[in-house]
Amino acid sequence: MRKLVLMSLVGLAAVVGLTTARADDAATVAAVNASSNALDAAFGARDIAAIRALMTPDHISVTPYYDGPQTVDDQIASLDELSYGGTIIGEPSVAFLSPDVALRTFAIDLKGSFKGEPLPAHAFVNETLVRRDGKWIEAFFQITTLKP
């Protein structure tokens, strides 16, 4: 039993070590940030092909302005009703949950509207990106409204 526990701890330490090493890799963090920024630009340009390329097919988006969780197709169908922009406050934080899964978070001052209603002014964004075929793409996006 002790041997099993010891082996499990050694294995866990190895995984944590790999994830920590990856988290310190500036090029990997830059690639995650670049992918997220490219997706924002694709939404701004209404570039459906780029949006699809930068999101997983099973992507889900949860925001205070959508009527519920949105799939990729739901988001594309509502593009004409969305005016989205904002200013990120500080630097985004990127944490690696595994070598191929990144959690990117940041506070943002939003500007824009959805279906004619203004977006919440202050929010916190949580993006989960996964590495597929060497490219980082978004699998999950959530905006949580913050009090002013």
pLDDT tens digits, one per residue of 29-56: 999 999 999 999 999 999 999 999 999 9
Q: What is the pLDDT of residue 84?
A: 86
Tens digit of each residue's pLDDT (9 = 90 or more) over 124-138: 999 999 999 999 999
Boundaries of every domain in the chain: 2-145
pLDDT (tens place) for every residue of the chain, 148 residues total: 444 433 443 344 444 444 544 545 899 999 999 999 999 999 999 999 999 999 999 999 999 999 899 999 999 999 999 998 899 999 999 999 999 999 999 999 999 999 999 999 999 999 999 999 999 999 999 999 998 7
Q: What is the pLDDT of residue 105?
A: 98
- CATH code: domain 2-145 is 3.10.450.50
Burial zone of 108 (CB within 10 Å; 0-12 exposed, 13-18 middle, 19+ buried): buried
Q: What is the pLDDT of residue 24?
A: 55
**Coil, helix or strand for 147?**
coil
**Rg of the Cα trace of the chain?**
18
Residue 98 makes CB contacts below 8 A (sequence gap 6+) with 15, 19
